[in-house]
Structure 1
Amino acid sequence: MATLLVVDDDAPSRELLRTLLTYRGHQVEQASDGDQALAMAARRPPDVVITDVLMPGLDGYELARALRGEPATRHIPIVFNTAHYDPQQMRSLADACGVHDVILKPAQPSAVLATIDSLLFPGQFSVLADGQLAETQRLVRAGTWEFDPAAGAIVMSPELRDLLRLRSTRMTVRELSRRLHPEDVDTLAAMARDTRGNGMPHVVELRVVDGDGSVHEVIVSCRPAPAGRSEAARLWGVAQDVTRIRAELRSTLRIQGDWHAIRRTIDGFHRALLPATLPDIAGAGLAAMYLAAPERLDVGAAWYDVQAVPGGRLLLSVGKVAGHDQHPAAVMSRALAASQAYAHDDPDPVEVLARLNRFLADTSRDDTFVSAVVALFDPATGHLRVANGGHPPPVVIVPDGEGIEATLVRTSGPVLGVVRDAAFPSRDLRLPAGAAFCAYTDGLTDRHHDPSSVDGRHLLRVAAEAFSRLDGEPSAHLLAEAITGDMLEGAAPDDDVCLAVLFAGG
């Protein structure tokens, strides 16, 4: 029916709303903080935003103000979902932020749906039938309870009784205390005492043993009865069983811990293979950058390398491994070591690529292949020879009078490791003093959210503008940082990024 964005740093709270609203027929997207929610809303504006208030980073207030400040999102209805304020105080804060409504945690399912319906269908009022309410409670593993102080008993809904596998919907406080974890008995008493004392709703987490001896992790709310109700039910609330959610969250955290440990190992291995420093060659300024995609385990697919070769020249290469059967970092280590050895014998880019191609074709037993660009530069003459094996074309940036000209150096060699006897044509050009040569991997240009970024003209515009900001002071490092920053626009890369920059006369 509608797309709803739920924002909360507490996973069980998000899961409760997701289950409830999905059952209603809505599509639900989730964000764990305001910064993530703002980015998601900018890419695809939802119909309604339901957000917690107190969150790390960008909190609910700042998120609401940020959404109201952008033309594309200022119309979106926003609902605060919080347990930290009284209704009157929360309503005033919501009005100040342009927020349409407030839901106090943990809200009854019917209240949540009625609030959302009132925003999506103005003028209509949603009322759930008893059967629908019971089904909703079953799906979200929740039920309601009331405390009868006259009898000293707690009366619970059939859904809560079934959830905790109890024989009756009625239980004395003493009976309930026996089913609580010893550390939680005082927590329950304090919740009831505080709610009676200040009339404010409270929320706690309890561990409850059910009728079969299993332990449930339960979020319990406690609220004073509305004015006009009899003294027989002065306190009431909702209890939600989050045992499964908590278990899944703990499992997810363990998996994430393992994932990050593997990632750190691979990343450390890959960075150890890249040059720790670049050679100091008279007449040439050098800089190189490597950025790993943060959400991928197949990092380590890209490399840069610069070697000093006889005659005061330098050999620069940038490459990338593609394939699935072997981890790319392992293939990259062999390819980089082989290319360095071949360059030691003969630094001609055509010969380096031809020998590396034959080596990969003879030793690969899977679908792995490599792309690479190799450039040989002589600072004394400015002569630059470039050969390319299926890699994105490098960029040459040259000051041209009052302007700056950026061009792609295109050659037609195939990827390496597929056709054993392939030829790799070269391009020879002169790189004048003050000009720059940039080789890169496609992680710099391929952006999932921006298909137009792969257009070579976009990179040329960015490179020329970044070069112009140097104000005539050639700096390979500053140029590399500027090109990378402008191409990624402050976002993390979707794939490994390697960028090597050479300044002639630097």
Structure 2
Amino acid sequence: MRVLVVDDNAADRKILRYVLERHDSEVIDAGDGEQGFQQAERHVPDLIISDALMPRMDGFEFLHRIKAAPALRHIPFIFYSSVYTGDRDEKLARSLGADAFMVKPKEPEEIWQEIERVVERARSREGTSHEVEEEEYLRQYSRIVTAKVEEKVRELERANEVIRQRAKSYRNLFNSIRDVIIVTDDDRIIADANQPALRDAFGYELHEVQGKDVRILYADDDGYRASAVPVARKRPEAGSVLEVPFTKKSGDTFIGELSLIRRLGEEGVPTGNIGIIRDISERKRVEEALRTSERERYQLEAELRLAAEVQAKLLPRSSPLLPGFEISAACFPARQIGGDFYDWLEISPGVIAVTLGDVMGHGLAAAVLMAEVRATVRSLSAHNEPEKAMQRVEYALRHDLERSEAFVTMFHARVEGKSRTLTFVDCGHGFAFLRRADGWVEELLPRGLPIGVPSRERYQEGRLTFEPGDALVLYSDGLIDARPELELTPKLLARCLEGSANSREMVERLTSLPGVPSPPPDDLTVLVVLCKP
């Protein structure tokens, strides 16, 4: 059957694709409800599996649009989502017409059993009248809409009350946080001050400073004299700002920002001075913290550059020598460092092991895991056939991946030059195909689960024989994510390789497809094994 999978999480889409394709289902996927509805109209699938919370259009609105479309409303619909509101999500999904609601995560066997139950129920309903179902759906939807409108009205009323209370609180807060205003005569004797701010900043009551020299507020003579310079000019500029230390009644000091302006009488005649004081101690601490943070950022960038250099050195520097074959690869991280990697290792004369792996995510965390995965694969693949090597790699990395809540997709194979055979294991990767010399594309089966996904299944080997001109093409999902609108299938990618002279040119063609951004949105890696014509 044809199944539409709609989920903004690429890892969950990959798991569902694995489950469905194992049972001979054709999978179409989309990253949100809007794309999903377009795909549904275009392909009219036999089943839809959707996440609930997605950008642009969530799963509930997507389900409503499906049920409102005459040509699509009878398609069975399953939610496969995390739970955020208890059973409210499931109740809403059921009321909108969903056939089932599965909670992430589930074992692959459980997912397929639920799909079978839903499909069987849908088949048993075929041939019945849909008019009653449509009327009941419309009645249910009308009740839901009415309830939602009433709830929204209540929410708006509550929100308005909260806004009113916050506005009142904010006004009080604003009025209570004020700069200190000190009014003096020409002899710098304090005549007046705003009491709340004076008390907050200096700890004085107004009567304690009135009639006294403003020197009482300064922490040292240098600050007092510095502030006297613009006063002596008789016309201090309004924009003049000084930073001087002040002292509180308690004897504590703080750094203040002082602005001085002339005090004018009714007829514009200067009668004294006005000083506006703001405590900037916290700002100075923040500025120092920012300077420290900037130094740390520079240090981190330097360390990241060094890490990128180290990671680049972990990748093979030159192509391996294998009679009758060419092997080329390229890796472009989304950031300075990434989670993709490729590798090759000479097992024995004429036998090369090749690997392409993709650690979930990108950046520093993925890069650290990538280094561990690469080292593990190298140590275990030298003396083990692909199937046994991957089984031991999975066992060795299981606990680390579980603790880091990550998984790794990987394609690992051995190429034997003399017999021109390839023995491979696909650990949930899927982005691999064999392009025959005549342009025919072969899918590589079997496939297993990604490393780090709990399962009792064991990995299985696949085997193929190269003919002159055949090319094995491996790539990461970063190639697909770079141009999702092109729907790059293996056949389309194989067509891009027509006329390529060697494996290096094949890699360059795939990594420089028109419109691929630099850097790519996700780590992008391509590896090609070409059997020479």
**Structure 1 partner of 2:390:** 353
- Could you say which structure has the higher helix fraction? 2
**Structure 2 partner of 1:482:** 512
Distance 1:213 1:477, change over 3 A: farther
| Alignment partner of 1:415 is 2:445 | no
State the structure with more CA Rg: 2
* In structure 2, distance between residues paired with 1:227 and 1:464: 87
| Alignment partner of 1:374 is 2:412 | yes
1:263-282 Cα shifts (integer Å, max 9, x gaps): 86688568646625433335
Contact 2:332-2:524 within 8 A present in 1 as well: yes
* In structure 1, distance between residues paired with 2:295 and 2:496: 39
* In structure 2, distance between residues paired with 1:490 and 1:233: 66
Distance 1:172 1:262, change over 3 A: farther
**Structure 2 partner of 1:164:** 201
* In structure 2, distance between residues paired with 1:284 and 1:174: 89
| Alignment partner of 1:288 is 2:323 | no
* In structure 1, distance between residues paired with 2:227 and 2:444: 72
Paired residues for 1:185-334 under 5 Å: 188-189=227-228, 196=235, 199=237, 201-222=239-260, 230-232=268-270, 238-248=276-286, 250-251=288-289, 254=292, 272=310, 275=314, 277-281=316-320, 283-284=325-326, 286-289=328-331, 291=333, 293=335, 302-310=340-348, 312=350, 314-321=352-359, 332-334=370-372
Q: Which letter does structure 2 place at the counterpart of 1:390?
A: G
Contact 1:221-1:237 within 8 A present in 2 as well: yes
Contact 1:147-1:232 within 8 A present in 2 as well: no
Contact 1:388-1:413 within 8 A present in 2 as well: yes
Please report how far the alpha carbon of residue 340 of structure 1 lies from its aligned counterpart in structure 2 after TM superposition: 1.3
Normalising by the residue count of structure 2, what TM-score does the alignment of the two structures yield?
0.48
**Structure 2 partner of 1:504:** 530
Q: Which letter does structure 1 place at the counterpart of 2:431?
A: P
Contact 1:413-1:425 within 8 A present in 2 as well: no
Contact 1:480-1:501 within 8 A present in 2 as well: no
1:341 counterpart SS class: helix
Unaligned stretches of 5+ in structure 1? 1-42, 45-128, 448-452
Contact 2:186-2:272 within 8 A present in 1 as well: no
Q: Which letter does structure 2 place at the counterpart of 1:280?
A: S
1:217 counterpart SS class: strand
**Structure 1 partner of 2:487:** 457
Q: Which letter does structure 2 place at the counterpart of 1:216?
A: F
* In structure 1, distance between residues paired with 2:433 and 2:196: 67
Contact 1:152-1:172 within 8 A present in 2 as well: no
1:195-254 Cα shifts (integer Å, max 9, x gaps): 936x55234444333333333333444556799774356765754433334435544665
2:235 counterpart SS class: helix
Which of 211, 214, 231 lines up with 1:175 in the alignment? 214
Distance 1:242 1:400, change over 3 A: farther
Paired residues for 1:389-404 under 5 Å: 389-391=427-429, 393-394=431-432
Normalising by the residue count of structure 1, what TM-score does the alignment of the two structures yield?
0.50
Contact 1:385-1:427 within 8 A present in 2 as well: yes
Contact 1:357-1:416 within 8 A present in 2 as well: yes
1:89-140 Cα shifts (integer Å, max 9, x gaps): xxxxxxxxxxxxxxxxxxxxxxxxxxxxxxxxxxxxxxxx99987731534x
* In structure 2, distance between residues paired with 1:463 and 1:222: 72
Unaligned stretches of 5+ in structure 2? 1-54, 57-166
Contact 2:199-2:205 within 8 A present in 1 as well: no
* In structure 2, distance between residues paired with 1:462 and 1:196: 78
**Structure 1 partner of 2:122:** none
Percent pairwise identity? 14
**Structure 1 partner of 2:473:** 437
2:448 counterpart SS class: coil
Distance 1:343 1:168, change over 3 A: same
Distance 1:211 1:458, change over 3 A: farther
Distance 1:271 1:371, change over 3 A: farther
Contact 2:332-2:519 within 8 A present in 1 as well: no
Please report how far the alpha carbon of residue 414 of structure 1 lies from its aligned counterpart in structure 2 after TM superposition: 0.8
| Alignment partner of 1:152 is 2:194 | no
**Structure 1 partner of 2:381:** 343
**Structure 2 partner of 1:388:** 426
1:152 counterpart SS class: coil
Contact 1:384-1:431 within 8 A present in 2 as well: no
1:386-426 Cα shifts (integer Å, max 9, x gaps): 5321236247789999xxx9998675211225346512353
1:56-101 Cα shifts (integer Å, max 9, x gaps): xxxxxxxxxxxxxxxxxxxxxxxxxxxxxxxxxxxxxxxxxxxxxx
Q: Which letter does structure 1 place at the counterpart of 2:527?
A: V
Distance 1:220 1:293, change over 3 A: farther
* In structure 2, distance between residues paired with 1:228 and 1:476: 85
* In structure 1, distance between residues paired with 2:495 and 2:213: 75
Paired residues for 1:83-98 under 5 Å: none
Contact 1:146-1:237 within 8 A present in 2 as well: yes
Contact 2:413-2:424 within 8 A present in 1 as well: yes
Contact 2:434-2:441 within 8 A present in 1 as well: yes
Q: Which letter does structure 2 place at the counterpart of 1:304?
A: Y
* In structure 2, distance between residues paired with 1:131 and 1:361: 53
Contact 1:378-1:384 within 8 A present in 2 as well: yes
Paired residues for 1:53-72 under 5 Å: none
1:11-37 Cα shifts (integer Å, max 9, x gaps): xxxxxxxxxxxxxxxxxxxxxxxxxxx
1:140-191 Cα shifts (integer Å, max 9, x gaps): xx41536545352465433431332242456789634862466655654566
Contact 1:354-1:424 within 8 A present in 2 as well: no
* In structure 2, distance between residues paired with 1:202 and 1:396: 75
* In structure 2, distance between residues paired with 1:223 and 1:399: 86
1:278 counterpart SS class: coil
Which of 173, 176, 179 lines up with 1:138 in the alignment? 176
2:382 counterpart SS class: helix
* In structure 2, distance between residues paired with 1:466 and 1:206: 70
* In structure 2, distance between residues paired with 1:454 and 1:152: 72
